Amino acid sequence: MKISGKLSRRRFLQIAGMAGGGLAAASLAGYAGWNALDALPEPRPAYRAESESSSSGGPLLILHGDGADTFSGEYLGEMLRAEGLPWFASLTWDALGETPLENFAAILLAGGAPDRAGVEKLTAYVSAGGQLVIFKPDRVWDALLGLERLGGVYDGGYLQVNLDHPWTTGMESAPLLFHGEADLFRPAGCEVIAWLADDSARPTPQPAVTVRALGRGRAAAWALDLPRSVALSRQGNPAWANQERDGRAGIRAVDAFVGWMDLERLDIPHADEQMRLLGRMLTMMVMERLPLPRLHYFPAGSPGLLIATGDSHQNTPQVIEEVLSLAERFGGRMSVYHTPPMGPKWRRVIQRGRAELAEVPALGAVVSRGINFPTPAQVAGWRQRGHEFGVHPYVEEGLEAGWRAYLKSFLGYGYGPVPPTARTHRILWSGWVETARVQAAFGIGMNMDFYHYGTAFQKASGEWVYGFFNGSGLPMKFVDEEGRLLTIYQQVTQLVDEHLMKMPWGGGWAGLNADQAVGVAESLLRRASAVGAAVAAQFHVDPFAFEEPFASNARRFMEGSLKAAVERGLPIWTAEAWYRFAEARQQARMSGWQADVPGGSFSLELADALPAEVAILFPLHRGGARLQQIQVGGVEVAFTTVTQAGMEFGQVLLRGGRHQIDVRYGESG
């Protein structure tokens, strides 16, 4: 029987009658929403608006070029937001004009070719006490930076932090991988913060990061284009986009990382550690002028986070409920990415009407018999309990076509609104960021498709490795090849059941049993809490519906992973809650900052919709002084002492809203 897209009311009810007399009544309600079932969410901007990227105020300024020269400037802003330093303005050289530079405690220069007047202006700024950081500097800056240019480049490699420098106490000692070219210099009056190195941790004589005191200020240099390197580390090699490189059928995001990541040091978040080095430098450089506040990465000051997710392929509500209840046993909440049945629209209308009748007391017991799909009421109940119920589309027939078809089905079954996070079936990927762009246009705000699975993670020795294959344990928004920021975050899924253990459909690359898989989870979460990382886990819903040993293995792995998170003090969140926290954290605004010798004050605005408290950190020590007092809204609040990347801070927790913050330092002891 062939059904056209538009039906008369009479024909609609005739079809319903064929499906069963009891369904005809249900279909009366369904007919009213027939045409609405085709309605997809309004397209949303896939790219971050320039007004959102350009200025949020505060003591920092990003200065960058125009046009094709904007890549590093745009992404540098995203890096500062990820590091909890969203207090910056962003200007191009052309827009700089007569902007009073003395209003900024530090300026970060990323791209652009300044004229002679621009060089003189920034040189005077440094001499008068300003702090300047330049990435992959043009030769016009060599004298200011205290560098002698040697010619030639170091094409991809490592940097080794100089742990003998007073600014680098407690930082990562292993060599850190970077991508792109680094210019070769010889120090000529500057201090070396990090050296270029090879993968055996042998530093070269050439510096990677330097700082030079000049007048009352300082000028620092990175020999590499750090923002571009971080983007390449996180998103893979764009030259390998759409190439099959891991020997498995289907293009996936991980294909762009084969031969791109350091399998010997996968447990180190290389990109994050380099961003933390930049953050440490900024903190130390501006310390005399103000104690630079920063927002902690994770909710309520926790050391990390476990994001519990599970793909679900047309599972029954009873099986989904079992998995969600298991997450709740450990105080957690979970994201389920559900693949709804595909089929003609009239079938969805009938199913939806039947589900609605199942909620009617007089009819529910009869109508609900044999319902083996989640009803809208059940989905609403799960969401009310704090879980996420999102879509898991197939895109084998085309990226946009797949998303349109599965969104129509998802909404047609009454599962709307569409939540802001998603994972694609088989984690198929298009382009360098094309999948992310399409998802963003459909309203998805966080992508979970970068996925630790397959032979890409096996060393030549046969050993399987685990960790941070994109160099990061933090969510950051995607950037395209032209340097434009998208509106969608990348969050890697690092802990994957089907990679570790055999599943009903195959997988099990590492060949582990459930207890061994739990051991991997324990190790990864231990590492996450040590380095500060969010770990997303894949706990498939499907094996819970299968015969043994699949169901018991899935249960053992999930229970062990959740228990390990609780023992490490890691909250267990949905991807949706993590997305909303990341957005609120990025949107924090500082205004009216004032600094003096004893301390400083400013107004801080946090989004009212924060899903948890956010921790704000102040350096515990400032020269010879120690943090003595933090006031919020004129009331002194107790602070706790925490260590982040080897540096001590005083920490207080804040809820959403506007806060007046005052800090005071005094003599130690």
Give a yes or no: residue 253 inside a domain: no
Domain containing residue 191: 50-224+261-295
Domain boundary, last residue among 562, 582, 602: 582
Is 314 within a domain?
yes
pLDDT digits (tens, 9 = 90+) for 409-433: 999 999 999 999 999 999 999 999 9
Tell me how crowded residue 389 is: count the other CB atoms within 10 A of its CB: 25
Residues 476 and 516 in one domain: yes
Please say whether the dihedral angle defined by the alpha carbons of residues 481, 483, 484 and 488, taken in this order, is positive or negative: positive
Beta bridge partners of 135: 222
Element (H, E) at 388: strand 388-391
Q: Residue 372 is encoded by which pair of tokens?
A: 């083996």
| pLDDT tier for residue 38 given thresholds of 50, 70 and 90 | low
**Cα dist from 299 to 8, 227, 633, whole Å:** 53, 26, 21
Rounded to an integer, what distance in angstroms lies between the CA atom of residue 161 and that of residue 175?
7
**Quick one: pLDDT at residue 30?**
46
What pLDDT is attached to residue 19? Answer: 45
230-289, pLDDT tens digit by residue?
999 999 999 999 999 999 999 999 999 999 999 999 999 999 999 999 999 999 999 999
Q: Is residue 237 part of a domain?
A: no
What is the DSSP annotation of 274-301?
HHHHHHHHHHHHTTTT----EE-SSGGG
- pLDDT band at residue 547, thresholds of 50, 70 and 90? very high
User: Going by C-beta distance under 8 Å and a sequence separation of 6 or more, which residues neighbour residue 287?
Assistant: 619, 622, 623
Question: Among the listed ranges 61-70, 616-625, 627-636, which one has the minimum average pLDDT value?
Answer: 61-70
More confident residue, 50 or 162: 162
Between 467 and 98, where is the model more confident?
467
Helix (H, G, I), strand (E, B) or coil at 605: strand
Of 554, 582, 610, which marks where a domain is finished?
A: 582
Of the two residues 608 and 229, the one the predictor is more confident about is: 229
- The whole-chain average pLDDT of the chain stands at 92
pLDDT (average), residues 650-659: 97
Q: Looking at the structure, do residues 134 and 283 belong to the same domain, yes or no?
A: yes
Partners of 334 in beta bridges: none
Over residues 470-496, the mean pLDDT reads: 98
pLDDT above 60 (res 6) = no
Last residue of a domain, one of 520, 549, 582: 582
Does one domain contain both 359 and 488? yes
**Per-residue confidence (pLDDT) for residue 312, from 0 to 100:** 98
Residue 221 in this model has a pLDDT that exceeds 60: yes
Does one domain contain both 622 and 503?
Answer: no
Taking 80 as the threshold, does the pLDDT of residue 130 lie above it? yes
11 part of a folded domain: no
Q: Which residues contact 174 (CB under 8 A, 6 or more apart)?
A: 201, 265, 268
Q: In this structure, is residue 529 part of a structural domain?
A: yes
Structure confidence at residue 345 (pLDDT) = 83
One domain for residues 324 and 268? no
Helix (H) or strand (E) holding 3: none
Tell me, yes or no, whether 210 and 267 share the same domain.
Answer: yes
- For residue 28 the two structure tokens come to 């009366």
Q: Are residues 517 and 616 in the same domain?
A: no
Helix (H) or strand (E) holding 430: none
Q: Is residue 4 scored above 80 in pLDDT?
A: no
329, part of any domain: yes
**pLDDT greater than 90 at residue 308:** yes
pLDDT of 40: 87
Is residue 440 domain-shared with residue 380, that is, in the same domain? Answer: yes
In the Cβ-directed half-sphere of 315, how many Cα atoms lie within 13 Å? 26
- pLDDT, residue 369, reads 63
Q: Does residue 276 sit in the same domain as residue 422? A: no
Residue 49: predicted pLDDT: 84
- Amino acid 355: pLDDT: 76
500-518 mean pLDDT: 98
Residue 325: φ, ψ to 5°: -65, -35
Contact 287, 619 (CB under 8 A): yes
SS3 state of residue 606? strand
Strand partners, 526: none
pLDDT at 151: 93
Report which of residues 642 and 32 the model is more confident about: 642
Asked if 271 and 183 sit in the same domain, the reply is: yes
How many folded domains does the chain comprise?
A: 3
- pLDDT reported for residue 202: 86
Percent of the chain residues past pLDDT 70, beyond the cut: 91
Is 24's pLDDT higher than 60?
no
- Whether the per-residue pLDDT at 491 is higher than 60: the answer is yes
Contact, 306 vs 535, CB < 8 A?
Answer: yes
Spatial contact of 627 and 650, defined as CB atoms under 8 Å apart: yes
Domain for residue 505, yes or no? yes
pTM score, whole prediction? 0.93
Q: Are residues 512 and 625 in the same domain?
A: no
AA identity, residue 273: E
3-state secondary structure 21-84: HHHHHHHHHHHHCCHHHHCCCCCCCCECCHHHHHECCCCEEEEECCHHHHHHHHHHHHHHHHCC
pLDDT score for 94 = 84
- 392 and 277 both lie in a single domain: no
Whether 19 is covered by a domain: the verdict is no
Which range has the worst mean pLDDT, 168-177, 369-378, 578-587? Answer: 369-378
Of 71-80, 108-117, 190-199, 282-291, the one with minimum mean pLDDT is 108-117
CATH number at residue 321: 3.20.20.370
Overall average pLDDT of the 59-66 stretch: 90
